[in-house]
């Protein structure tokens, strides 16, 4: 059974940092692209960051570029999202996702597997 399990969310003050992890199991993800998305209350799920299968290409939405860093450890089947200088508008449920074709896209439909999400709340 394929599973993506996110962890590391929580409550943090504005300006603080969090590191999200996404542990994959049930298949080998080393050739998959991995992405992070988020969904705030009343809003659609949106792209945050993605990394290709080798880790050589990373992509960010403009609002997090320079503050967030996506990385992966294929030996551990894990992808990370380091979030610095957090803002209240970063508050959302964060989801990780895997794309079997290895292409780090920005659209939800490009991803084949999804985690259940982890809540990130940034207080002002």
The 10s digit of each residue's pLDDT in 53-108 is 888 899 999 999 999 999 999 999 999 999 999 999 999 999 999 999 989 999 99
Nearest CA-CA partner of 122 in 4, 6, 9: 9
Count of alpha carbons within 13 angstroms of residue 35, beta-carbon side: 28
Q: C-alpha distances in angstroms, 18 versus 36, 68, 92?
A: 14, 10, 13
Q: Are 110 and 50 in contact (CB under 8 A)?
A: no
- Average confidence (pLDDT) over 9-23: 98
Say what the pLDDT of residue 77 is.
93
Beta bridge partners of 113: 98
- On average, the pLDDT of the chain sits at 96
**Residue 58, SS3?**
strand
- Position of tokens 């394929």? 2
């Amino acid at each position: 059974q394929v599973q993506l399990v996110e962890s590391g969310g929580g409550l943090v003050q504005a300006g603080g940092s969090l590191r999200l992890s996404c542990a994959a199991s049930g298949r080998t993800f080393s050739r998959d692209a991995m992405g992070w998305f988020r969904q705030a209350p009343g809003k659609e799920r949106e792209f945050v960051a993605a990394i290709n299968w080798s880790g050589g290409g990373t992509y960010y939405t403009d609002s997090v570029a320079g503050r967030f860093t996506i990385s992966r450890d294929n030996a551990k089947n894990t992808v990370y999202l380091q979030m610095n200088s957090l803002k209240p508008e970063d508050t959302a449920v964060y989801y990780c996702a895997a794309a079997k074709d290895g292409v780090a896209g920005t659209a939800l439909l490009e991803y084949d597997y999804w985690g259940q999400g982890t809540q990130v709340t940034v207080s002002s």
